[in-house]
Amino acid sequence: MNRAAMLETVPNEYAARDYEVDIACPEFTAVCPRTGQPDFATIHIRYVPDKLLVELKSLKLYLFSYREQGIFHEHVTNRILDDFVAACQPRRCEVTGDFNVRGGIKTIVRAVYDQEIRSDSP
């Protein structure tokens, strides 16, 4: 499934200005690939748009598409960032997966993209 294609965009009427958009999805769920148990999280997406904005209903449907997928916390957070950047081409974006405690462990994963400084540089 090409999840990045699920993210729709709209033109940014204020592309000349730097401003930040902060989105939270407190109902994110995926499945642990080892145990099959559900993982619950709040996904935070903070971005500085360039020419495009994400359309929020498409983002909601995109995030809900992970409900049946077995995927590790680190992988899903980075995949959301990659898909968001591919669709919206923001100046900057940070995705934080704040996963609920399960098995006595709390996980927070933060992935960052910066148009000027490639986030995957060594």
Q: Which of 39, 82, 83, 98 is catalytic?
A: 39
Helices (H) and strands (E) in the chain, counts: 2, 6
Q: Which of 18, 25, 32, 88 is catalytic?
A: 32
Residue 84's H or E segment, with its range, is helix 73-88
Question: What is the maximal distance between C-alpha atoms in the chain?
Answer: 47
Is 39 considered catalytic here? yes
Is 93 considered catalytic here? no
- Looking at the annotation, which residues are catalytic? 32, 39
